């Protein structure tokens, strides 16, 4: 085979360019899918956290309201409240953060 024919032959160039383009397109599609799933997971986690904190906030406000009602009832009866105790239970992870 003549070396001039090999240099002028363009058959392998189109196959190489086609492979590189398909590979690049595949990588872009894969990365966009991963990023979209990641953002969906982050939104889901954030909404679950907000709902949990909302539930804990309502529970905490109900307990504070109960303490307020008890103290006002005791005062209206003419008595003196020396001590009122109320237990607040938080999830274990939050308790560890509050302690430290």
Rounded to whole angstroms, the Cα distance separating 69 from 55 reads 21
Rounded to whole angstroms, the Cα distance separating 65 from 72 reads 11
- What's the pLDDT tens digit per position in 36-63? 888 777 777 778 778 888 888 888 888 8
The domain limits of the chain are 3-99
Q: What is the pTM of this model?
A: 0.45
- What's the pLDDT tens digit per position in 10-36? 666 677 788 889 999 999 999 998 888
Written as six digits, the tokens of 12 are 């392998």
Rounded to whole angstroms, the Cα distance separating 38 from 33 reads 9
| Contacts for 56 with CB less than 8 Å, ≥ 6 apart | 90, 91, 94
């Amino acid at each position: 085979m003549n070396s001039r024919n090999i240099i002028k032959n363009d058959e392998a160039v189109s196959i190489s360019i086609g492979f590189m383009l398909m590979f690049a397109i595949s990588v872009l599609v894969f990365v966009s899918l991963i990023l979209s799933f990641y953002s969906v997971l982050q939104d889901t986690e954030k909404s679950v956290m907000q709902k949990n904190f909302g539930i804990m906030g309502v529970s905490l406000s109900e307990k504070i309201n109960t303490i307020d009602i008890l103290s006002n009832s005791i005062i209206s009866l003419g008595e003196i409240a020396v001590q009122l105790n109320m237990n607040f239970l938080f999830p274990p992870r939050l308790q560890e953060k509050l302690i430290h």
